[in-house]
Amino acid sequence: MRVCIRSVYLLAATMALMVDARAMAQVPAGADALYARREDPVAARQSADLYLAHHRSAPQDFVGCWKLARASYFLGTQGPEAERRMWLETGLAAATDGVRLNEARPEGHFWLAATMGALAESYGLRQGLKYRTRIRQALERVLAIDPRFMEGSADRALGRWYHKVPGLFGGSVAKAEQHLRKSLTYAPESSVSLFFLGELYADQGRPAEATRLFQQVLEAPVHRDYAAEDRFYKAQARARLQRPPSRR
């Protein structure tokens, strides 16, 4: 009887520890709510700080990893200029952890590629090229797992990759257009995809088609989940349309 009682106590203690571990692994709900308001610079920073604190306390939480990478990418591309590279490095480390924890999910791979891509742009062409193979491989992995992830985000990013990487290192105008058009099959009114395709056409000396796409960006509805990104690219499209024709 004594042995049985002891076993019951041990089982109860083990279950309590398991419950505590699960609770610790949950991303704070407030972080998600703040991230949803990321157009407010204060909310964006507060969300990233909460994700970072959670990641430090629960480094084995896969969801915490990719959400920190996502918030870091936003601050690394739209936050204060002096802090951008720091946040991108933070996001890169978090995304790397996410891939290690769950290689079969697309989130870690995508935010790994996104943060590396932004870092590459921040370093300039010569230094940034060192990331090119890892970026492409990560995005191809997302396509293999779930091509519909985030409304065709991997095709969108690969289109950008093939556009911006010089042909000598694997870039291709044809592949850029192919991937961007594929991304639009998942989200025909995506401001980001339309803008990227417009930039591709502008760089290829196709101003009429570029202008039409930039105008579509302005006319596209603001996405409920990506309002911050949509408004950012609408502003970019408006600026492109206001340039003198020779500079578009």
- For residue 140, the domain's CATH number is 1.25.40.920
Is 91 within 8 Å of 73 (Cβ atoms)?
yes
Q: How far is CA 224 from the centre of its chain?
A: 17
For residue 2, pLDDT over 70 is answered with: no
In terms of residue numbers, what domain contains 223? 189-248
Same domain, residue pair 194 and 171 = no
Is 65 within 8 Å of 94 (Cβ atoms)?
yes
Same domain, residue pair 173 and 193 = no
Please report which confidence band the pLDDT of residue 246 belongs to, taking 50, 70 and 90 as the band edges: low
7, part of any domain: no
Least confident of 10-14, 41-45, 141-145, 174-178: 10-14
Same domain, residue pair 175 and 196 = no
When divided into structural domains, the chain yields a total of 2
State both tokens at 40: 């407010």
Nearest to 49 by CA among 233, 57, 161: 57
Is 170 within 8 Å of 192 (Cβ atoms)?
no
231, part of any domain: yes
147, part of any domain: yes
- Residue 205 backbone class (left: φ over 0; alpha: ψ -120 to 50; beta: rest): left
CA–CA separation, 196 and 218 (whole Å): 13
State both tokens at 193: 């995809």
Same domain, residue pair 76 and 119 = yes
Nearest to 180 by CA among 164, 195, 159, 206: 159
Same domain, residue pair 167 and 45 = yes
CA–CA separation, 95 and 55 (whole Å): 11
Same domain, residue pair 54 and 159 = yes
Same domain, residue pair 194 and 230 = yes
Q: What one-character-per-residue DSSP string does 98-112 give?
A: HHHH-TTSHHHHHHH
Same domain, residue pair 92 and 112 = yes
For residue 170, pLDDT over 70 is answered with: yes
Is 162 within 8 Å of 179 (Cβ atoms)?
yes
As a whole number, mean pLDDT of residues 35-59 equals: 97
135, part of any domain: yes
State both tokens at 112: 């790994």
Same domain, residue pair 135 and 216 = no
As a whole number, mean pLDDT of residues 226-247 equals: 89
Is 76 within 8 Å of 84 (Cβ atoms)?
yes
Same domain, residue pair 193 and 175 = no
For residue 8, pLDDT over 90 is answered with: no
Same domain, residue pair 50 and 111 = yes
DSSP 227: H
Cβ count within 10 A of residue 13 = 10
Which residues have CB under 8 Å from 91's CB, separation 6+? Answer: 68, 69, 70, 71, 72, 73, 76, 111, 114, 115
121, part of any domain: yes
